[in-house]
């Protein structure tokens, strides 16, 4: 699907017909948004803008140059948006990474390409419609997209922090730790690492923009605030990850204590029955010269001796407070 945002009649107009490019010039276009574009839509945009859109492989590359670069004709930026599954239709409470590509030409026209629906774009479009005079170029829209994305990243950090706090409280209230707790810890650690990596990407992009001379000078104060926000988010994500490490160590410690208690029970049981086993083994040898072999009360004597030895062992363990 293609959405073209036009600067006409002192307002922003939306158009979803690629054929409109035949009657438009670059000066009339502000933003071209491609959501799950078809081959025909991609070719129409490339022909109108005179650019080559990023391939899926190029968007997903992790090199710094693939995240932000400047050519003679355009600024290219590829980003990963860390979103809940529910935002893109899954709704299972997990998270996923959504790659997004941006190209801003020297004429100030921005082209965005994404495969998943995101409220980041919906919120930016809402701001554009409310105050279109604040977005004279695609550079301003791109900065607003980053601002909205950073706000949502902050929401993700807060959400993960709440989940970590909830897990910590549940662990303190439960008497035993099972494998589900370790799986939840591992899942939260993975989500925190992914979020932290994406925030680092945002930091690199904003830092690159600060060093660029392509962007209008009026956006640089906003970029300074964005850098501060991103650094704060990184610190919060690091704290959550460190807290998860502590929770994981505590969970493993509790599991070890439980295992030690189980081993202790078996060890005490083995020691308690050891004298009885020794007595039974002695009288089970059936040597002919054993004096108690033909004794009338030999059986009762052996049973009583086993009970007495086991009782003395139990008393000794309780006296020493080992049991």
Taking only the tens place, the pLDDT of each residue in 24-57 is 777 788 888 888 888 888 888 888 788 777 777 6
Are the C-beta atoms of residues 63 and 76 closer than 8 Å to each other?
no
Q: How far apart are the first and last CA of the chain?
A: 72
| Euclidean distance between CA atoms 280 and 283, whole angstroms | 5
The pLDDT of residue 85 is above 80: no
Q: Packing angle between helix 220-282 and helix 298-319, nearest 10 degrees? A: 150
The pLDDT > 90 percentage for the chain reads 2
Architecture of domain 2-255: 2-Layer Sandwich (3.30)
202 and 97 in contact (C-beta within 8 Å)?
no
More confident residue, 236 or 14: 236
> Long-range pairs for 166-174 at CB < 8 Å and ≥24 separation?
167/247, 168/243, 168/247, 171/247, 171/250, 171/251, 171/254
Express as a percent the part of the chain with pLDDT over 70.
91
| Residue 39 to residues 104, 127, 213, Cα–Cα distance (Å) | 20, 30, 33
Q: What is the average pLDDT across 285-312?
A: 84
pLDDT band at 88 (very low <50, low <70, confident <90, very high): very low
Q: What's the DSSP call for residue 218?
A: G
pLDDT attached to residue 66: 65
Pick the more confident residue, 185 or 54.
185
The DSSP 8-state label assigned to residue 39 in this structure reads: H
Confidence of residue 168 (pLDDT cuts 50, 70, 90): confident
pLDDT(238) > 80: yes
Among the listed ranges 80-94, 99-113, 151-165, 237-251, which one has the minimum average pLDDT value? 80-94
pLDDT band, residue 94 (cuts 50/70/90): low
What is the structure's pLDDT at 59? 66
Can you give the pLDDT at residue 61?
64
What would the DSSP string read from start to end of 43-108? HHHHHHHT--PPPHHHHT--SHHHHEEE-SSEEEEEEEEEEEGGGGT--SS-EEEEEEEEEEETTS
3-state secondary structure of 148: helix
Return the CATH number of 260-319, one of 1.20.58.340, 1.10.260.30, 2.70.98.90, 3.40.50.1220: 1.20.58.340
Residue 83: is its pLDDT beyond 70? no
Give the model's pLDDT for residue 92. Answer: 44
What is the mean predicted confidence (pLDDT) over 12-24? 75
The answer to whether 192 and 160 have CB atoms below 8 angstroms apart is yes
User: Mean pLDDT, to the nearest integer, of 184-190?
Assistant: 86
Quote the pLDDT of residue 27: 79
**Alpha helices (H) in the chain, listed in sequence order:** 39-49, 56-59, 64-67, 119-130, 138-173, 179-210, 220-282, 298-319
Count how many Cα atoms sit within 13 Å of the Cα of residue 44 in the half-sphere of its side chain. 21
What backbone torsions phi and psi does residue 132 show, to the nearest 5 degrees? -70, -25
Question: For the chain, what is the mean pLDDT?
Answer: 82
Q: What is the model's pLDDT at position 84?
A: 64
Question: For residue range 197-225, what is the model confidence (pLDDT) as tens digits?
Answer: 888 888 888 888 888 888 888 888 988 99
Domain ranges of the chain: 2-255, 260-319
What confidence score (pLDDT) does residue 62 get? Answer: 56
pLDDT at 63: 59
């Amino acid at each position: 699907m293609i959405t073209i945002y036009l600067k006409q009649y002192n307002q922003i107009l939306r158009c979803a017909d690629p054929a409109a490019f035949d009657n438009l010039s670059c000066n009339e276009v502000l933003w071209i948004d491609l959501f799950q574009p078809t081959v025909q839509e991609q070719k129409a945009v490339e022909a109108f803008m005179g650019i080559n859109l990023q391939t899926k492989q190029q968007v997903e590359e992790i090199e710094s140059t693939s995240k932000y670069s400047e050519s003679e004709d355009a600024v290219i930026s590829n980003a990963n948006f860390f979103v809940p599954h529910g935002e893109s239709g899954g709704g299972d409470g997990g998270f996923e990474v959504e790659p997004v590509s941006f190209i801003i030409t020297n004429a100030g026209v921005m082209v965005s390409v994404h495969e998943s629906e995101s409220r980041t774009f919906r919120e930016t479009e809402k701001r554009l419609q409310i105050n279109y005079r604040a977005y004279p170029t695609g550079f301003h829209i791109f900065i607003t997209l980053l601002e909205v994305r950073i706000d949502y990243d902050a929401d993700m950090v807060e959400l993960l922090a709440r989940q970590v706090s909830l897990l910590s409280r549940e662990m303190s209230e439960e008497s035993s730790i099972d494998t589900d707790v370790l799986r939840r810890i591992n899942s939260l650690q993975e989500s925190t690492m992914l979020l932290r990596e994406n925030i680092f990407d945002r930091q690199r992009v904003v830092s690159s923009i600060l060093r660029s001379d392509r962007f209008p000078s009026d956006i640089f104060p906003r970029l300074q605030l964005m850098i501060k926000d991103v650094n704060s988010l990184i610190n919060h994500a690091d704290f959550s990850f460190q807290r998860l490490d502590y929770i994981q160590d505590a969970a493993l410690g509790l599991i070890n204590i439980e295992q030690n208690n189980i081993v202790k029970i078996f060890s005490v049981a083995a020691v308690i029955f050891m004298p009885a086993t020794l007595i039974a083994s002695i009288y089970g040898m059936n040597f002919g010269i054993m004096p108690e072999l033909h004794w009338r009360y030999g059986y009762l004597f052996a049973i009583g001796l086993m009970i007495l030895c086991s009782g003395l062992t139990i008393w000794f363990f309780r006296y020493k407070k080992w049991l």
